[in-house]
Amino acid sequence: MKLPESEMSVSEYYEQIRKAQSKIQQIQAKCLHLVFEIHMYMWRPGAMQPQRICKACNKVLHGITEEETKNAWEEWKIQIQSPMALADTEK
């Protein structure tokens, strides 16, 4: 049974996604992860935590220090509170 044109293109897009994911995994496996940033990482909906993210390949790296974690939470709180603080001063 032949698929309609629209369904064929959807399956082709899924194949492109699968190939891209495979290529990303290859790149990340070869990367030395020499430069990273600390970002808030959502590992499931509603659950965020600071993590090291490689700047070259965008891979989540484990092994964040306690100090990096503390600083990231403080920075995140400031970013969240800043718009609210500005709204309060405008009243």
Q: Give domain limits for the chain.
A: 1-30, 33-91
Q: List the structure tokens of 45.
A: 């909906």
From the CB of residue 52, how many other CB atoms can be counted at a distance below 10 Å? Answer: 20
Give the model's confidence band at 75: pLDDT under 50 very low, under 70 low, under 90 confident, else very high: confident
CA angle 75, 78, 82 (to 5 degrees): 145
Q: What digits encode the pLDDT tens for the residues 22-72?
A: 999 999 999 999 999 998 888 888 888 899 999 999 999 988 899 998 888
CA 88/CA 81 separation, integer angstroms: 11
pTM comes to: 0.67
